[in-house]
Structure 1
């Protein structure tokens, strides 16, 4: 798989005041490859939000390099690189500019000079990908939180990006809205091979990721597959991260003598084993 994005010994310091500079990112290196879903997690102040800003060019590193699509991200390459990215932020209301759903999705296409005859099918197709094609003429502020984020994702997809970055995109949603968005992103990744990078503090969300990067105090603390990361449950809890509900329940059941086959990452896995092994007899 080809390299999509990489950080090479990146550091960044916020000059909060002259006597007490704060190193938000401290010598961080990692690579994202084509078709992967990478989740970056960490508690508040861990550096993950600063990483997001560095990866989309809102900040530039004081040390090291950020490379996107094999180009170094800097002031000269910023706009050409960003045109190949789709970015969805925390609050969808801050991203809406159109009076209807279709107007909003079309906005970035118009700004980039896409001809009208090409724009119309791209707007519809991108909304269909997030299952919102039935809302073309709805006003965005009348949608639910999950629907708003799906429209925001459609707006990003309309630009046909090579990389989709979700910056705390589910943090303001209720459980139903969060599930809607995660399911949509998972479907997109499976059906289109889209590369996804999600910055989050929600460990339930990372269960869908191929790899997880854990940040702590500006440093890369650990990286691996979700099951490898959750095997370090006590270390994650020590830095203020909550473990997935199913993982905590299965651990508690084993501590109370219930025989289970390993750790369970999802509630469905746990319920299925409890039903087949303990109740369906």
Structure 2
């Protein structure tokens, strides 16, 4: 695998002229390989949203550098670098500009001067990839929250990016909509090897990632597999995050004397453990 994005000793402050001001991002280092799903988690104010802006060039660090495909991100290559990324934001209603779903997916392609015949092909392909082909002529604002975010993902995919960044993209969705979006992302990774960065405060979403970066007060507090991050347990709660339901239930069951092999991060793991424990009795 090749490196697709990295931060090297990146520091950023919104008030650099104030000597005692706190850095929003403080000496952060990490690298993301092609095909990975990385979750960046943290409480509000932890620095994760600032990292999103640094990754797509909305902000530039005061120290260190951001690299896209091995090249330092700067004003000279900003638009070329952004063409390698697709962004999906928190509120889907703020992203729509077209009268219909297909118009909306085509909008960025038109702005990038894609020939009409190729544009039509890309729109059809992108909507098929997110299972929204049947809604091509629907008005976006009549869709459910999950459907809107799937259309937003299609708009990003139509540009054929190497990297998809989800910036709190499921935080305003109901459980059904959240499941639709996350299943779509999982399918895309399996189908086309898409690299995904999920910026979220939802640890259940972070469980789907290959690796989790845990931010706190602008610093990288911890990095590792989801199971390694969740093993921090109550420390995560102290720092403003809510543990997955299955993890909390596992702990409560163990406190009540129910034999379990450990604390689980998915409901499926917990159910299997309970079934096995009782079956063996």
Shorter-chain TM-score: what band?
over 0.9
Look up the match of 1:70.
70
Pairs within 5 Å for 1:1-281: 1-15=1-15, 18=18, 21-278=21-278
5+ residue gaps, structure 1, are none
Deviation sequence 1:56-112 (CA, Å, 0-9, x none): 000000000000111111111100000111011111111100000000001111111
TM-score (norm 1): 0.96
5+ residue gaps, structure 2, are none
- Cα deviation, residue 275, structure 1: 3.3
CA root-mean-square deviation: 1.5
- Cα deviation, residue 262, structure 1: 2.1
- Cα deviation, residue 21, structure 1: 2.5
Q: Secondary structure at the match of 2:24?
A: strand
For the residues of structure 2 that align with 1:276 and 1:32, how far apart are their CA atoms? Answer: 37
For the residues of structure 2 that align with 1:191 and 1:257, how far apart are their CA atoms? Answer: 44
Runs of 4 or more, structure 1, over 6 Å off, are none
Q: Secondary structure at the match of 1:229?
A: helix
Quickly say closer, same or farther: Cα 1:252–1:212, change in 2 above 3 A: same
For the residues of structure 2 that align with 1:185 and 1:280, how far apart are their CA atoms? Answer: 37
For the residues of structure 2 that align with 1:202 and 1:17, how far apart are their CA atoms? Answer: 34
Q: Secondary structure at the match of 1:14?
A: coil
For the residues of structure 1 that align with 2:46 and 2:263, how far apart are their CA atoms? Answer: 27
